[in-house]
Amino acid sequence: MRSAIRFFCLVLLQPLALAGDYPGAATGPAVAGYGPVFPVAGDAFTLSNDRHYKVSKDVSATADSPEARNPNIEALARFLNMQARAGTKPEQLEVALVVHGAASRDLLTDAAYRERFGTANPNTGLLKGLAQAGVSIYLCGQTASYRGFGPELLNPAVDLALSAMSAHVQLQSEGYTLIPF
């Protein structure tokens, strides 16, 4: 059983190893298989566990290769995994992802992605994991229209917003803090 688990973990982390190797990092528990994090020794500054947080992330850039996951989207999995490992309970976090520009391709279904890039969408599992962790995923409707991405071409975890700007204004008016990187 341990060998099977090790093999499974190796397969999931292989793309990360090829991208630069992260010895000592682990994924999960919030988004298993994505968003590797490192342990931090000592009394590190962490989120207070007696509060409720609303967090949004803006993503417009994508990976250089259509075969690679979007590291900017995966950063949100890393955020969730870090917080879970630091003791923040899932119910203390409301998280939204707002996508526009070139990164819009990363929200396509596997079929739509394959039609355009000749490969399955490498972000499908990541999007599923984020959605299962409670992340609301919004695509800029202006970008979607400009690029010809109708709702039928989008991953089922994705909701259309009028625009990324509108989504951010609404989220910030609801008290969401924007992660600026």
Dihedral-angle region of residue 167 (phi above 0 means left; psi in -120 to 50 means alpha; beta otherwise): alpha
Q: What is the mean pLDDT of residues 101-116?
A: 98
In this prediction, residue 146 carries a pLDDT of 98
Residue 152 CB coordination number (10 Å): 8
Q: What is the mean pLDDT of residues 9-26?
A: 53
* Domain over 51-179 is classified CATH 3.40.1260.10: yes
In this prediction, residue 92 carries a pLDDT of 97
In this prediction, residue 19 carries a pLDDT of 33
Is the pLDDT confidence value at 68 over 80?
yes
Is the pLDDT confidence value at 13 over 90?
no
Residue 51 CB coordination number (10 Å): 8
In this prediction, residue 125 carries a pLDDT of 98
Q: What is the mean pLDDT of residues 92-114?
A: 99
Q: What is the mean pLDDT of residues 85-94?
A: 95
Each residue's pLDDT tens digit, 127-150: 999 999 999 999 999 999 999 999
In this prediction, residue 21 carries a pLDDT of 53
In this prediction, residue 73 carries a pLDDT of 98
In this prediction, residue 44 carries a pLDDT of 85
Closest Cα to residue 134, out of 86, 70, 83, 172? 83
In this prediction, residue 24 carries a pLDDT of 87
SS3 of 174, please?
Answer: coil
In this prediction, residue 15 carries a pLDDT of 41
The share of the chain scoring above pLDDT 90, in percent, equals: 82
Each residue's pLDDT tens digit, 22-42: 788 999 999 999 999 999 987
SS3 of 167, please?
Answer: helix
The share of the chain scoring above pLDDT 70, in percent, equals: 88
pTM of the entire predicted model: 0.86
In this prediction, residue 180 carries a pLDDT of 83
Question: DSSP readout, 28-74?
Answer: -SSSTTSS-B----SS-----TTS-EEEEEEE----SSTTS--HHHH
